[in-house]
Amino acid sequence: MSSSSSPMQSTGRKLKLKSKDDETFEVEEAVAVKSQIFKYMVEDGVSNGPIPLPNVNGKTLARVLQWCQKHADPTITEDELNKYDAGFIDVDQAVLYDLLMAANYLNIEELLKLACMRVADMIKGKSPDEIRRTFNIKNDFTPEEEEEVRKENAWALGP
């Protein structure tokens, strides 16, 4: 599902982006507008000069732009895209965190959805202990709270 309803006129223009660690990227408009932020900038005509992105580092921005490139490609099939996405999101938690924050900040709906579903998949079907180990969550419940929580969820998980 494409997020933009009206077809973007391919002006062949490029956008300059600057990550927070001063890495610059040049990307075609058609690719950049996967991000709603850039889409509005382009539509409002305020996309001259390098756009500073103080919340995204160079490594993550490169990854995100690679994703946008793939998804802006008109020749790619849906199957290929799904396969690409599955491989793209199979990353360690540090990278996943950066992708989540970047997709949220740049307002890239499909990438955010992909990353969030990945997080959900990492939770599904696991016991609380397994979830803790996956995400390195520290159990800070007192014994009383543990009992409370167990009762609170008995309806769903059994006593």
Partner 1 sequence: MEIASSLITFLSFQPFFVAAIVTVLCLLLALLAVRSVRFPYLETPQSDGVDSVASANKVCNCVCSCNGGFGAPDSEATVAPYVNGGTASMVEKASSVAVAERLTGASMMEQLVPEITTHALSYLDFPSLCRLSMTNSLMRKAANDDNAWKALYHKDFTLEQDSVTPANGWKAYYAATRAIVTINADFFSIIKERSLPAMSHFWLNADYVKCVHASGELFSGYNAVIQSWQLAFNWEHGFNFQVRDVRARVLTDTAWVTMKTYVDIDSGPFNVTNVFELHNGRWYMVHHHSSVLTIDGEVEEPIVHA
**35: three-class secondary structure by DSSP:** coil
C-beta neighbour count of 95 within 10 angstroms = 15
Count of residues interacting with partner 1 (CB under 8 A): 41
**121: three-class secondary structure by DSSP:** helix
Instruction: From 24, 25, 51, select the one nearest 38 (Cα to Cα).
Output: 51
Q: Residue 115 is encoded by which pair of tokens?
A: 């990353």
DSSP state of 47: -
Candidate residues 120, 143, 144, 159; the one interacting with partner 1 per rule CB under 8 A: 120
Smallest gap from residue 122 Cβ to partner 1 (A): 8
Smallest gap from residue 136 Cβ to partner 1 (A): 4
Beta-strand relationship, 24-28 and 14-18: antiparallel
Q: Which is nearer to partner 1, 11 or 141 (CB)?
A: 141
Smallest gap from residue 50 Cβ to partner 1 (A): 26
The contact set with partner 1 (CB under 8 A) reads: 90-94, 96-97, 100-101, 104, 112-113, 116-117, 119-120, 123-128, 131-141, 145, 149-150, 152-153, 155-157
